[in-house]
């Protein structure tokens, strides 16, 4: 086997490693129910904290009735939870 073959395999492995690293850093979005379970609070408390601006939420879709989601990485970071007394 030639050196070029091994170099090509090494480049492919580097690409695979980069892809795996990229996929592992993608944020996981949680529903209101999942967020409540994760923080060990009620769904009503999640909605209240969101309305008060203490939790950062995202509407996935169009319109005011679009499903509300929360980034798990932001729930894990105390800096991303504004003035929340739940943690």
Residue 81 CB coordination number (10 Å):
19
Closest CA to 68 of 39, 54, 40, 47: 47
Within-domain flag for 6: no
In a domain, 86, yes or no: no
Q: Would residue 22 count as lying in a domain?
A: no
Residue 57: inside a domain, yes or no?
A: yes
Say if 5 falls within a structural domain.
no
Residue 10 lies in a domain: no
Number of folded domains that form the chain? 1
Residue with tokens 């091994």: 6
Residue 71 sits in which domain range? 29-80
Q: How does pLDDT run across 23-57, given as a tens digit for each residue? A: 555 678 999 999 999 999 999 999 999 999 889 89
Is residue 39 within 8 A of residue 75, CB to CB? The reply is yes
What is the reported pTM? 0.60
Above 60 in pLDDT, residue 83? no
CB proximity list for 1: less than 8 A, separation 6 or greater: none
The answer to whether position 69 is within a domain reads yes
Q: How far apart are CA 9 and CA 51, in angstroms?
A: 52
With a CB cutoff of 8 Å and minimum separation 6, the contacts of 47 are: 32, 68
């Amino acid at each position: 086997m030639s050196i070029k073959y091994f170099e090509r395999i090494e480049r492919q492995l580097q690409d695979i490693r980069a892809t795996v690293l990229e996929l592992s850093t993608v944020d996981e979005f949680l529903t209101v129910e999942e967020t409540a379970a994760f923080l060990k609070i009620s769904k009503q408390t999640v909605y209240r904290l969101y309305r008060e601006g203490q939790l950062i939420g995202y509407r996935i879709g169009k319109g005011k009735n679009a499903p509300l989601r929360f980034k798990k990485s932001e729930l894990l970071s105390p800096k991303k939870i504004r003035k929340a007394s739940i943690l």
